[in-house]
Amino acid sequence: MVRSNFTKFKIISLPATTSTNTYIKERIDELPENSVVIADIQTDGKGRLGNKWIADKGALSMSVLFKDISSAQNLTVISAVAVCQSLYRLYGIKAGIKWTNDIICENKKICGILCESAIKCSSDSEGHRSYVICGIGLNVNQEKEFFDKSELSDGASLNSLYSKEYDKTEIGLYILRRIAILQGMAFSEVIKMYKALCVTLGRQVKLIRNNCEITAYAKDIDENGCLICENESGEFVVNSGVVRVRGMNGEYI
């Protein structure tokens, strides 16, 4: 049996902040391992590849600090699975993962995950320490009008999809529990769960890098969470940090 140590998380609740990831970065030396920052409002959230994450009071904005962990990719995979499992176990909502870090419901993006890693030099005998900050932005209670006004045609919230108000705190705490459980498992087992949830696999996709497009078949996920693709030139591996994935006609999924 896999046991989770949920009590390891130390939660800091804020009425508002620019970005929960930035809040941790600015205090990374003073905050303990497994610190969690949850903000009721986030005014300057950030997504992958420099994208802006637009959120209001209806969103769950949460970041977790992990120290002495070298792979942000592992935590991206773990967190994506944790979000999907939490929504299903709490509410029976079936969500999927758009590789690498977006959570999808009803063909709409409801959640983004941004894991950022850093290595800090130390003057003591340890030499250096690695940090990973895992940011999770989940659209929970925003109305449909929020996405219309923000011109987020690919976005949605649980409320806008299912016409119901949800408890952000309940969801956030459950996600933390699932992260703790998944961290206690072999990563190869988590990868299997990720594959089963990944809506990108088995599709022809466009890979966009520096405004250049490559068409390929999304074939598999490797042991590190990278996307294995294949086209007329053969099989190749795509790292999450360098490309955007779109449908064949430019659609989000």
Q: How confident is the model at residue 6 (pLDDT cuts 50, 70, 90)?
A: low
Whole-prediction pTM value?
Answer: 0.90
Higher per-residue pLDDT: 206 or 210? 206
Say what the pLDDT of residue 203 is. Answer: 92
* Residue spans of beta strands (DSSP E) within the chain: 10-17, 35-42, 45-46, 52-53, 59-67, 96-98, 102-105, 108-121, 128-139, 204-209, 212-221, 227-231, 234-238, 244-247
Give the residue carrying structure tokens 């079936």. Answer: 94
Which residue, 223, 168, 154, is CA-closest to 195? 223
Domains of the chain are 6-197 (3.30.930.10), 204-247 (2.30.30)
Q: Is the pLDDT of residue 217 over 60?
A: yes
Q: Is the pLDDT of residue 144 over 90?
A: yes
Count helices and strands (H / E) in the chain.
6, 14
